[in-house]
Chain A
Amino acid sequence: SYELTQPSSVSVSPGQTARITCSGDVLAVKSARWFQQKPGQAPVLMIYKDNERPSGIPDRFSGSSSGTTVTLTISGAQVEDEADFYCYSATDNNRGVFGGGTKLTVL
């Protein structure tokens, strides 16, 4: 089966750098996307193709990849960045899989 593993929570102070990891064998061959979801809202695409940022996403959000792990980095995290973050990858049998999600706390 295809699984993506994320830490359940990450906590930083405002202005610090937050890093959220996502690990899974499929990431060695497939790229990842990252989504931010705030309470009561739909997910928002933050990063695609491991490290590309859609237009309108602040440049403090960045992505990187190494082997079977991808990382979302928030440089200078702000209080408004507090949210749940999910990684996602397509699989080699044309399905999709999300990580379990990471709750980012900024305080």
Chain B
Amino acid sequence: QVQVVESGGGVVQPGRSLRLSCAASGFTFSHYGMHWVRQAPGKGLEWVAFIEFDGGNKYYVESVKGRFTISRDNSKNTLYLQMNSLRGEDTAVYYCARDQLDYWGQGTLVTVSS
């Protein structure tokens, strides 16, 4: 069955970096674009980034442009989100999801705090 599992969350100080991973299984990963979506505590969903199936094009929400980088390794069926210069407002549960947003992981919590 289709499954995506996020990992890599944790507590990090403002200004530091963190890399999230999303391991995919149950489908041909290299055929699908992938999203990152986040949800701050008690808040709504926010779309963060999208990468096309082959990594050729990448798109970001304005608030993370220049700080976050979405990437993928199709040989490892894994999606990544490199987060640099983290801020308090980046504190959230980060979800990965397949391109039609039909399959989501359970999320990984990132807390940015000193």
Contacts and interface: CB of A to CB of B under 8 A. Distances in A.
**A and B bind:** yes
Interface of A: 33, 35, 37, 41-45, 48, 54, 84, 86, 88, 93-101
Interface of B: 35, 37, 44-47, 50, 57, 59-61, 95, 100-102, 104-107
Contacts, number: 51
Nearest to B4: A42
A84 B44 CA distance: 9
Contacts of A42: 95, 104-107
Contacts of A43: 37, 45, 95, 101, 104
Contacts of B100: 45, 48
A75 B101 CA distance: 24
Q: Tell me if A's interface is mostly helix, strand, loop or mixed.
A: strand
B104 A96 contact: no
B44 A88 contact: no
Contact of A86 (B45, B59, B107): B45
Among B59, B95, B101, B106, chain A packs the most CB atoms within 10 A around the CB of B101
Contact of A95 (B50, B102, B104, B106): B50
